[in-house]
Amino acid sequence: MKFGYQTNTWGGVVGHPAGVTSIKDLFYLTPGSDEEALRDIASAGFTGVELFDGNLVAYRGREDEFRAFLRAGNLSLIAVYSGANFIYDDVLEDEFWRIEEAAKIGETFGAEFLVLGGGAKRHGGPREEDYTKLAQNLDRAAELAQRYGLTALYHPHLGTIVEGPEALEKVMSQSRIGLCPDTAHLAAGGNDVPALIRKYAPRIPYIHLKGLQREPLNFLPLDEDPEMTAIWEAVEEIGFDGWVTVELDAHPDPKAAAARSLRWLQARQAAQPTPAD
């Protein structure tokens, strides 16, 4: 396995304010320093990074600047994170314009994956057709991403119509897209995360690990989550050997939190039995 880190710990998670009146401009953003984030992630010992689409499209016209940040830390860009409502027909074309921009910039910097959140919650609650629309449009996004050499994956998330196991099954059974499980969001949504990893193993080429504190809800470094060991055992059981990215939306000391999570991962790897054992 290879280990990466999401840069959103260095500034948090916001959306571009222009998106309030212009759907096509509603990119995700981390308002911190990308250079600092990549430097700290490399210093902690990670070899890959994931960034929000809005952070990456900001480097249009100055691509060499971001490439220099990657080279300085000997880092690979693993994935671009984007998202959309996916259920409102009238805004789909603008949403797909934005997703295509994310795929284009991902191709520019050599990303492997386009990670997609979404499935809007209506004020009156989800309609059954919303799950079908979401599944169909995720497959459309996967086809779009493929044109730019990226593999698109669905990332279930709190605050969308896909939180619990029944909703996830509705979408996965009606789509072909792969899955990027975010362990904390899935656990908080009522899923048995180890069982889910085993169930969808053939559709999981990339994983987000995030520690969870259930009450009050908070996200943690991996070493603070008592449920993470069982999740990791499931990851090992399915023979996963791709990128694992640690995600932590906020922390008072992002660099130290990243280093702690990597030490936890390395300790799990060191404890894994060899074939001779």
For the stretch 115-151, pLDDT in tens is: 999 999 999 999 999 999 999 999 999 999 999 999 9
What pLDDT does 272 receive? 78
pLDDT tens string for the chain (277 positions)?
999 999 999 999 999 999 999 999 999 999 999 999 999 999 999 999 999 999 999 999 999 999 999 999 999 999 999 999 999 999 999 999 999 999 999 999 999 999 999 999 999 999 999 999 999 999 999 999 999 999 999 999 999 999 999 999 999 999 999 999 999 999 999 999 999 999 999 999 999 999 999 999 999 999 999 999 999 999 999 999 999 999 999 999 999 999 999 999 999 999 877 655 5
What fold, for 2-271? TIM Barrel (3.20.20)
| Nearest Cα to Cα of residue 228 among 243, 247, 241, 242 | 247
Query: Which helix (H) or strand (E) covers residue 98, if one does?
Result: helix 92-108
**Cβ(194)–Cβ(230) under 8 Å?**
yes
Quote the pLDDT of residue 277.
Answer: 53
- The residue type at 260: R
- For 42-86, write each residue's pLDDT tens digit: 999 999 999 999 999 999 999 999 999 999 999 999 999 999 999
Tokens read off for 165: 């196991």
As a whole number of angstroms, the distance between CA 166 and CA 41 comes to 36
Residue 24 · residue 95 · CB < 8 Å? yes
How much is the pLDDT for 8? 97
Contacts of 265 (CB under 8 A, 6+ apart): 3, 209, 222, 244, 246
What's phi and psi for 276, nearest 5 deg? -65, -25
Tokens 């969808």 label which residue? 200
